Chain A
Amino acid sequence: MERPPSILLVGLGGAGCSIVARLAAQLPPEIGVALIDTDTRSFQQIPGAMVVQIGRAQTRGMGTGGEAALGAASAESDEAALRRAFTGVPIVAMVTGLGGGTGSGAAAVVAGYAAEVGATVLTFATMPFSHEGERRQRQANEATGVLGLKCHGLVVVHNDLLLQQVAADAPLSESFAAADTWVGGALRALAGAFAPGALVAADPAALRSILANPGSPTLFAFGVGTGEGAAMKAARAACECPLAHGPSSVTKVASLFVHVAGGPTLTTTAAFEAVAAVRTRFGGETSTIVCARVNPELGDRIEVSVLGASLPAPKSPAKAKKGAKAGDPSQPMFEFATEEAMRRGLFGGTPMTFIDGQDIDVPTYIRKAVRLPPSP
């Protein structure tokens, strides 16, 4: 039997599988790919990838029709196959789209199995567009609460943010490409960090120590810089990455994992300058793990990826949680408010207010996907 890959990229559900399918072509060979879905059509996107069809009995090879409960049941019924797929893999990177049935329901179950067989699980979850309505939004929010507790790291990508990255008249595929760039960058960084030949190396155990607190929000940022002062440009781009934006108070983290990759011109000084810039922005006082790697393919490009985890929220009665009672099942949601806070700003942690199925606390320009003029 062949050796399991050091990183397994898992696409879960319809959205997850199509993101993985788009990414698969540009990934280094160390990364294995697996697709998990109830719907057999998803598997045709990458011929030859490892596939796990779940819920054959429940859905008979079709989708879940947006039923999260059905998604969860499907994953539970194929426990053995899922566990087998994850055995021996040190890092599982799962990509899924929340809001639908398979993503929202099965993600927490699948992540749970992967973690139980010893893998470090990092999940990238996309949240539905505001226009998709209240039900999907709620389903996705509930799923993040549960999912956050099951996996070691959870990075949430808001689809609304994607629309803003491109001009209003750009084709739809372009906005999704932005998400692919971010997730792809993260995976390349992870793969690069643990593969042999790194300038400054790290091991999966180090990543695990960063992401050791399930349920605490995960910060992820990615930036690219080219030409003169590329390292600083990349660091600044990472600091301004829309995935990590929001009032600075909520994105200070306890521990950081920073990966700098560049062409042959990458110097140690430049790499550490970039790391210092990122640390100033995001914190990382307790521990910062630095990885650097020379990749001739990058030329004069430098890529900076940042992963960070905050400490678990203090158990002392924090002021903002006054409304919630002890033992309230919604409590983990409040702990998870940081991710929401990035989008909802000062209103993060307050109950959402829906009008016409949209959370109106989210800025109008995000919901209407209006691209703002660049800052001077």
Chain B
Amino acid sequence: MTPKILPSLIAVIDIGTHKTVSLVGQMINGKARMLGFSERRTEGVVKGTVIDLERLHRCVHEVINDVERSSGRSIEQVYLSLSGPAAEGERIKGIHAIPAHDGKVTAKDVTDAIASAKRLEPPAGRATLLYMRQPTTIDGRAVANPVGMAGKRLEVHFWRVTMEEGNMRMRVGMVNGMSVKVRDFILASHAAACATASDSDKQGVLVIDMGAGTTDWILYYKEHILCAGSIPVGGEHMTNDLSVALRISRETAEDLKIRFGSAMHREADANQTIWKDGDRGLGDQQFNRGTITQVLSLRYQETIEYVKKDIMQHLDQLFPGRAVKLDQYFLPAGIILTGGSANLTDAADAVHAIMQLPTRIGVPTFENDSLRKPEYAGVVGLMTAAITDSPPPVRRQRGFLASLKDLFRF
């Protein structure tokens, strides 16, 4: 069957705990142009876990319908973002002995090494979702392109992300159910990094994508992903803490978090009294601002501590016995904080205080002004990652009628 869509059409969808966003773009002269965008409040997801499949299904369906309408294109394949601790990453390697007769690496040697790495089966019951390239080495030396170089032993490394099979089937099924296919998965933290970190940043940078349900992190070193992980805590937890502490509804807590919240508890806030609505009308309530900042800052800082701990555990596994430090030499570009929870006041200061590295808020660079916010780093990055990681297929030879149809679209 010939595809109905233009081959260079790229659709991405990011299903988060708080919102589901979809973006459709097209490659024109090597640059991405946005054709359609849609966004909806996600339903049926709590803490990054699906609790009501039916409602989520409907929500995803509506988002896809909206984006098809706004772009005027029909979507056949989408890139799906992948976040949360359910997706586990690990380093795998493929080894290939270089034939001794000339001792030079050929393109075939590289393909063989890659094939041997990908032959490694994931643990029982888990399915491989994606591979991300890590440095290639010849006799232990990292090289950018091994072809033509001399050596004995060629090693290719991948960051492999696996997920429990049932969970993966559910995610794929969510999209597949509406005659749209999942083309590929993209790690959400990698997407966020693609939108906010430059290539020179990737010499050494930590990107923390703090969403509503999960906080995903990814570490780049020498332009390659080194490791990535996720903590099942996000902005929703802060809202919840606030609603438990002040005994208020989720909506009120969310509103107070945005207006008065902070990731740093300062003495100045301690005895400041704030009003819920501000009009002092019926039902207006007074709160102590110190309580709000205290509750939020405790949770925020704890979450960053967990991220730090998780990173150190991963580094220990990758480099056993070598106490790697998270410092300026290792990560010259410091930390990029992005995702919806990066909007919290003083978020970067709080991260800096714990990690002791320069921290900045990552805002995606995009033609569309309304998407230049930390919470859209994920979806914008998905688009960027989809283009750079797996270039869209070349335009196939198609029937006369189909090309006529395209002609009238413009």
In whole Å, how far is A61's beta carbon from the nearest beta carbon of chain B? 43
A48 at the interface (CB under 8 A from B): no
In the complex, residue of chain B having the shortest beta-carbon distance to the beta carbon of A360? B233
Q: Which of B51, B231, B247, B294 contacts A322 (CB 8 A)?
A: B51
Cβ-defined partner of A346 (8 Å) among B46, B54, B271: B46
B335 at the interface (CB under 8 A from A): no
> Is the beta-carbon distance between A353 and B241 smaller than 8 angstroms?
no
Q: Decide yes or no: A245 and B271 within 8 Å by CB, A347-B47, A372-B291, A375-B288 being known contacts.
A: no
Interface residue? A373 (CB, 8 A): yes
Complex contact B51–A363 (CB within 8 A): no
Binary interface encoding of chain B residues 288-309 relative to chain A, with 1 for a CB under 8 A from any of its CBs, else 0: 1011001100110010001000
In contact, A346 and B295 (Cβ under 8 angstroms): no
Task: State A351–B46 Cα separation when bound (angstroms).
Answer: 10
A376 with B250: in contact, given A245-B244, A322-B52, A346-B243 (CB under 8 Å)?
no
Pairwise interchain contact B241-A363, C-beta atoms closer than 8 A: yes
Find out whether the CB atom of A345 lies under 8 angstroms from the CB atom of B244. Answer: yes
Dominant SS among interface residues on chain B: helix
How many whole Å from A149's CB to the nearest CB in chain B? 24
Q: Hey, what's the 0/1 contact readout for A359-376 against B, CB within 8 Å counting as 1?
A: 011011110101011111
Instruction: Indicate if the CB atoms of B294 and A376 lie closer than 8 Å.
Output: no
Q: Are B249 and A247 in contact (CB under 8 A)?
A: yes
| Cα distance A363–B288 in the bound complex, in angstroms | 18
- Shortest B67–chain A CB gap in Å is 27
A247 touches B246 (CB 8 A): no
What 0/1 pattern do residues 192 to 213 of A give for CB contact below 8 A with B? 0000000000000000000000
Query: In the complex, are the beta carbons of B294 and A350 less than 8 A apart?
Result: no
Q: Which of B54, B291, B294 contacts A375 (CB 8 A)?
A: B291
Docked CA distance A319–B43 (Å):
12
Is B232 close to A, CB under 8 A? yes
A-B pair number, CB within 8 angstroms = 97
Interface size class of chain A, counting residues whose CB lies under 8 Å from the partner chain = 20 to 34
Whether the Cβ atoms of A372 and B295 lie closer than 8 Å is yes
**Which residues of chain B have C-beta atoms less than 8 A from A248's C-beta?**
247, 249
Knowing A246-B244, A365-B241, A376-B287 are in contact, say whether A346-B250 is a contact too (CB < 8 A): yes
Interface residues of A in 248-289 (CB under 8 A from B): 248
Please provide the chain B residues from 12 to 58 with a CB less than 8 Å away from any CB of chain A in the complex.
46-47, 49, 51-54
Given A363-B295, A364-B299, residue A351 in contact with residue B49 (CB < 8 A): yes
Decide yes or no whether A314 CB sits under 8 A from chain B. Answer: no
**Are A365 and B295 in touch, CB under 8 angstroms?**
yes
A interface list, Cβ under 8 A from B: 240, 245-248, 319-320, 322-323, 343-347, 350-351, 353, 355, 360-361, 363-366, 368, 370, 372-376
B residues in contact (CB < 8 Å) with A: 46-47, 49, 51-54, 231-233, 236-237, 239-241, 243-250, 270-271, 273, 286-288, 290-291, 294-295, 298-299, 302, 306
| 16 further interface pairs, Cβ-Cβ under 8 Å (given A355-B231, A376-B286) | A245-B244, A247-B247, A247-B249, A319-B52, A322-B51, A323-B51, A344-B244, A346-B236, A347-B47, A350-B49, A365-B245, A365-B299, A372-B294, A373-B288, A374-B288, A375-B246
Q: Offer 25 A-B interface pairs, CB within 8 angstroms, sorted by A.
A: A247-B248, A320-B52, A322-B52, A322-B54, A344-B240, A345-B243, A345-B244, A346-B250, A347-B240, A350-B46, A353-B232, A360-B233, A360-B237, A363-B245, A363-B299, A364-B295, A364-B299, A365-B298, A368-B302, A370-B298, A372-B294, A373-B290, A373-B291, A375-B246, A376-B286
